[in-house]
Homo-oligomer: A and B are copies of this chain.
Amino acid sequence: MHPLVAGLDMTGTLVFAMSGAARGVQERMDVFGVLVLAYVTAVSGGILRDVMIGAVPPESVASWHNLALALAGGLFVFACFGLFRRLSHPVLFFDAIGLGVFAVAGTQKALDYGINWPMAAILGMVSAIGGGMVRDVLTMRVPTVLHADIYAVAALAGALVVVAGAALGIAQPLAAWSGLALCVFLRMMAIYRGWRLPAAR
């Protein structure tokens, strides 16, 4: 992996772990529950993808790096929840980056494993939103991605750029960076401009 991509991927894992830990703190869990939730939020999406494409053991099981990152993020939030909350704006921004990196990298991995392009895009999206869905289910909430402002859609848009790039023979890094940029852009518009999809009447 390109060092910059690896850095962004680690950022994503860290930020997703923090979002899981924050939920655990809000639910008044003990430190262990907080760490479990941090870890599950950070790695479930990637594990789901890997199990479905046959990349077993999944990346997050074959190596302990994501575990270490998730524990670090989780402990920080547990110990410094006040500070974490004051950082909520930068966290939203890094969360958007994590979303985009997971979607783009997940799509590329699925394509590398020979998955057809529509399903590769879906698996990229699953990589990006799966962890948050598991976090929500474990804390008894309807997954926010099913309700909320553009979130899964941003991940899917980034994933689709990657498959379009692969189909059109565009250089992989260019497609990946474009997909990431589109995902972050859509997410920021959703947060600051209130962009939304139509809901059922």
Residue A92 at the chain B interface, CB threshold 8 Å = no
* Nearest residue, chain B, Cβ from A63: B116
Residue A131 at the chain B interface, CB threshold 8 Å = no
Please report the C-alpha to C-alpha distance between residue A183 and residue B137 in the assembled complex, in whole angstroms.
28
Q: Which of B32, B116, B200 contacts A197 (CB 8 A)?
A: B32
In the complex, the answer to whether A140 meets B142 with C-beta atoms within 8 Å is: yes
With an 8 Å Cβ cutoff, the count of chain A residues facing the other chain is: 56
In the complex, the answer to whether A30 meets B67 with C-beta atoms within 8 Å is: no
CB distance from A34 to the nearest CB of B (A): 6
Knowing A25-B200, A52-B57, A147-B30 touch, does A133 contact B138 (C-beta < 8 A)?
Answer: yes
Residue A105 at the chain B interface, CB threshold 8 Å = no
Please report the C-alpha to C-alpha distance between residue A152 and residue B40 in the assembled complex, in whole angstroms.
14
Residues of B within 8 A of A138 (CB): 133, 137, 142-143, 146
In the complex, the answer to whether B36 meets A146 with C-beta atoms within 8 Å is: yes
Residue A118 at the chain B interface, CB threshold 8 Å = yes
Residue A123 at the chain B interface, CB threshold 8 Å = yes
Give the most central of A30, A81, A137, A142: most B CB within 10 Å.
Answer: A30
In the complex, the answer to whether A52 meets B56 with C-beta atoms within 8 Å is: yes
